[in-house]
Amino acid sequence: MTQENALRIFKCLSDASRLNIMQALTQGDTYTELLAERLDLNPSTVSFHMKKLEEAGLVSSRKEQYYTVYSLRREALDQTLGALVAYAPELPDEQQKREAEYRRKVLQSFFEYGKLRAIPVQRKKKLICYEEIAAKLEPGRVYEEKELNAIIAAVHEDYCTIRRDMIGEGILRRDGNRYERIK
């Protein structure tokens, strides 16, 4: 158990609707539409809660014809509170955590389903987005310009600006028409 896992479980369960869902699941396996009816919630809202419960490892799902059937994960529920709080000390220092969180928020605001919504104006945010694009390139591999353009264009249509900026920021190295990721 890591602190992150423990936090996910605690956060997930600190919501009365999700506790109600868990309670309903103690009566037996069930599916979204039935839970929605029982708990007077929209099916899409129930799906949202189920996703959180699944991510926390508290429920599992299986497909049965048209329906997704959910079950409690007994082994997760059988953990004691003591086991949940006895996670191994880990985690980067506070500064690293803050930076990781900032990065997550920037990426969440500027990317939608893998596409860059707009090139950020602020340099710090722009760098984070460019690093995310650069992560699509294999380190040490040399890319032809056409190939690189296609990779960037899949993320944002203005691949020329991004390619130039990435060179200027020292993320890419250019040698004629060949490019290499250096960060």
Residues near other proteins (CB under 8 A) are 14-18, 41-42, 44-45, 47-52, 113
Question: C-beta of 81: minimal distance to other proteins in Å?
Answer: 19
31 touches 21 (CB < 8 A): no
Question: C-beta of 71: minimal distance to other proteins in Å?
Answer: 18
21 touches 39 (CB < 8 A): yes
Angle between helices 94-110 and 123-134 (to 10 degrees): 80
Q: Closest CB to other proteins among 40 and 93?
A: 40
> Hey, is 152 helix, strand or coil?
helix
Q: Closest CB to other proteins among 18 and 163?
A: 18
Q: Closest CB to other proteins among 42 and 79?
A: 42
Q: Closest CB to other proteins among 38 and 173?
A: 38
The CA dihedral of 89, 90, 96, 102, to the nearest 10 degrees, is -100
Residues paired with 112 in a beta bridge: 115
What does the buried/exposed string (b/e) look like for 56-73 if buried means 16 or more CB atoms within 10 Å of the residue's CB?
A: bebbebeeeeeeeebebb
- Please, what is the Cα angle at 44 between 40 and 49, to 5 degrees? 80
Residues shown for the chain: 183
Question: C-beta of 112: minimal distance to other proteins in Å?
Answer: 8
Residue 19 to residue 74: CA distance in whole angstroms: 15
Question: C-beta of 183: minimal distance to other proteins in Å?
Answer: 28
**Amino acid present at 112:** E
Question: C-beta of 56: minimal distance to other proteins in Å?
Answer: 13
Q: Closest CB to other proteins among 48 and 102?
A: 48
